[in-house]
Structure 1
Amino acid sequence: MTETGRTPAMGAQAAYIMEPQHYGSDDPDDRKSGWISFAGIMMILLGAFQIIEGLVALFRPDYYLVGSRGLVVSLSYTGWGWFHLILGIVVLAAGFGVMAGAAWARVVGVVLALLSAIANLAFIAAYPLWSIVVILVDCAVIWALTSGYPRVRAV
């Protein structure tokens, strides 16, 4: 007679290993939740980058590669520092809002990421590599905040 159940030698662990593993989900709500988490984390990172950029501009203006007159927008590094610092704090707060699931934070996040990308494009002469990294993070934030959501069709 053949037994179809587990034998004492197999134990519970062997039965678990034989079952197929599912690491992802095909549920659209799970994917949307993943993108929201990614966007929130990237916004927190972006806010931290902007705060660092602002603090460097405020406390070490000689750190940058060109004088403030060589920038696209001729503004003192103190002015740029305050702009980046305030933008970073607002982006950081909106990132925590996205993580908490606030709908307003998604819209604010896209607008702030656009503003951050434009500001860093204008600031690119001062520190090109840093500005490019921040612009790439801005693009990742915009993509994560706008992807995975159903499209609205016109009637």
Structure 2
Amino acid sequence: MTDVGSSRPDYDTSRVAYGNEPDPTGWTGWVVFASFMMILLGSFQAIQGLVALFDDGFYLVRENGLVIDVDYNAWGTVHLLLGVLLLLSGAGVLTGNLVARTVGVILAGLSALANMAFIGAYPVWSLLIITVDILVIYALTVHGRELRDSTR
């Protein structure tokens, strides 16, 4: 009779061998959803900025009816810049980058503030964007680390 050896491997395949970090939970999908929402928010902000730059008559009130009395060209530039930065940050969050996640939280907060000041011009749209900004901030701050851990 031949001895084929032990059926146990020569190396440790237990959880301790790989680290003590817990497995990512289902919330990792929530962070991926938040990053795609950031990309959509960035696109929407950029479109809103372009409309403010090129079609002043589109909005409900004139510049003096807004919370901050500046012309629509300034608002358009702010929204366009926020949109581009949100797009880039959303792409960075997909890679699990901590800096992109931090910048994403800051940009989503700035986007919410900008839309709160812009609420007189386009109320329903601004409230929708503020709601999505809050969801993005929640997902990135509470569950963002899990995406980083799952990409290692």
TM-score (norm 2): 0.77
Matched position secondary structure for 1:125: coil
Corresponding residue for 1:76?
A: 71
Per the TM alignment, residue 143 of structure 1 is displaced from its structure 2 partner at its CA by 1.1
Answering whether residue 109 of structure 2 is matched by residue 114 of structure 1, we say: yes
Q: What corresponds to 2:5 in structure 1? A: none
- Segments of 4+ in structure 1 off by > 4 A? none
Unaligned runs of 5+ in 1: 1-26, 151-155
Deviates more, 1:138-147 or 1:89-98: 138-147
**Which amino acid in structure 1 is aligned with residue 120 of structure 2?**
A
**Superposition RMSD in Å:** 1.5
Distance in 2, Cα, partners of 1:91 & 1:127: 20
Separation of aligned partners in 2, 1:69 and 1:42: 32
Match of 1:31 in 2: 26
Identity %, equivalent residues: 52
Task: Provide closer, same or farther for how the CA distance between residues 67 and 89 of structure 1 changes in structure 2, counting only shifts above 3 A.
Answer: same
The aligned counterpart of 2:6 is none
Counterpart of 2:116, as a letter, is: L
Equivalent pairs, count: 124
- The one-character-per-residue Cα deviations of 1:8-34 (angstroms, maximum 9, x if unpaired) are xxxxxxxxxxxxxxxxxxx75142421
Q: Which amino acid aligns with 1:118?
A: L
What are structure 2's unaligned runs of at least 5 residues?
1-21, 146-152
SS of alignment partner, residue 33 of structure 1: helix
Partners of 2:26 and 2:40 in 1: CA distance: 21
Do the aligned partners of 1:124 and 1:131 also contact (CA within 8 Å) in 2?
Answer: yes
Distance, in Å, in 2 between the alignment partners of 1:75 and 1:92 is 25
Aligned partner of 2:55: which letter?
A: R
Structure 2 partner of 1:102: 97
Q: CA deviation at 1:38?
A: 1.2
CA contact (8 A) 2:47 2:80 kept: yes
Distance in 2, matches of 1:114 and 1:134, equals: 11
- Give the counterpart of 1:56 among 51, 76, 81: 51
Aligned residue in 1 for 2:148: none
Which residue of the partner structure matches residue 91 of structure 1?
Answer: 86
1:100 CA drift (Å): 1.6
**Conserved? CA contact 2:63–2:69, under 8 Å:** yes
Secondary structure class of the residue paired with 1:148: helix
Native 8 Å contact 2:35 2:91 kept in 1: yes
